[in-house]
Structure 1
Amino acid sequence: MKNLKIKILGYGLYLLINISLLILLFVIRDQFNWIAGKLRELFTYLLIGLTIIFSIIAITKYLKSRNRKTVFFGLIGIIPCLLAIPFFEAPVFIEKNNLNEKVQTIELTYIAWACDCANWATKEDLKKHSENIGDSLAYQSIFIEPSDESIKLPDTLGYSNDIIKFTGQFYKNRGFPKDYQSFENPDKGRIFRYTDYEVVKSNYGDYQKSLNESD
């Protein structure tokens, strides 16, 4: 009787932890800030780990006792979790974002948004959505992603109204660049992965000059 109570208590605790993790994952499923991303990763791995451990225990006990009840309870504990995990965004289940085949060169202007949003825009979008009504310009803005670290933009680039020509490809789906992290909760944006760039206009000198004048 004592062993039965311990088993019921253990099984109940397992379900409670898994349900709690599922609820937490559901709550932060659409949040893309740095903290939520790390929590999604942690909760998902915990959920997978608990499910694997429970599966091993259930299979081991079944092989020893050949008790169908063990299989039944094991399935109850495993199936809901396995069905739920793919619906939550975590590194294990992130949908692959493929590149468009078209390689192009685009001229982008840097916009100093007061957020960690996509902050590059084409001339056409700057003109068409100049008033940013309904965040239309923000929606059309672009994230940039270097194809490798050697062509990552230096700190002297990326100031307001900097203009740079990028050569590369757009990703097919909206999202975030590789290794993107933020403490905010930004919206997904278009992503342009570049293999080369050419500086058309840099405002770094003017920025430094204004800082010196203010001192």
Structure 2
Amino acid sequence: MRSPTSGESSDLNTRARIRAAAIRCFGEEGFDVGMRAIAAEAGVSPASIIKHFGSKERLRAECDERVFGQIFDLKRDSVADPSNPAVFLAQLDRMAEYTPLVTYVLRSLLAGGDYARRFIEQTVADTLEYFALGVEAGTIRPSRDETARARYLVMSSFGALLLELSLDHANDLSRFGPTWERYGEQITLPVLELFTEGLLADRAMLDAYLEHRGEPDAS
């Protein structure tokens, strides 16, 4: 496989810079933000965006793919080997770097409708995939209903973030950075306790529910 020429490398770098700028602009200002604003953020001309992406719609689609991919990689890495917390702690130290990704996700959810629904469904599918990797590796407990568990965690995670946003800045995502970092500090301990140690001291409620459903658990 040949290496890219200097011109090709420059094009790739410009493309990545435009995409990163678009993720920031879409997240902070909304999906109606103009091409000129994105171009100014990226330090290019509007014509350069058209050259690299063809249209604003295509640029947004590639931003989606990039955000999904980055979130998937982060989640996969964090569940791959919880017995070695170095990856998780490194991610925790980089909370500020992830602000554009989280802001973009929240903006997508606030847009509502079919787009938000598709975003949730894709996130649930990705969660199922990296949970399956964790179950296979023995780092995550299997569930009686993997899809229901993934959907609950996705909905509760995003719901908590949206509530935090509405309480703090009334959905003003341009100032979400400090909120995101503070939110991470507040939830890390209780989330780790719940995920690691659980909440209920015995399984009486679970057993009663399974029996109520006609699915007594033999374990």
TM-score interval (norm. to shorter): under 0.3
TM-score (norm 1): 0.25
Question: Greater share of strand residues, 1 or 2?
Answer: 1
More helix by share: 2
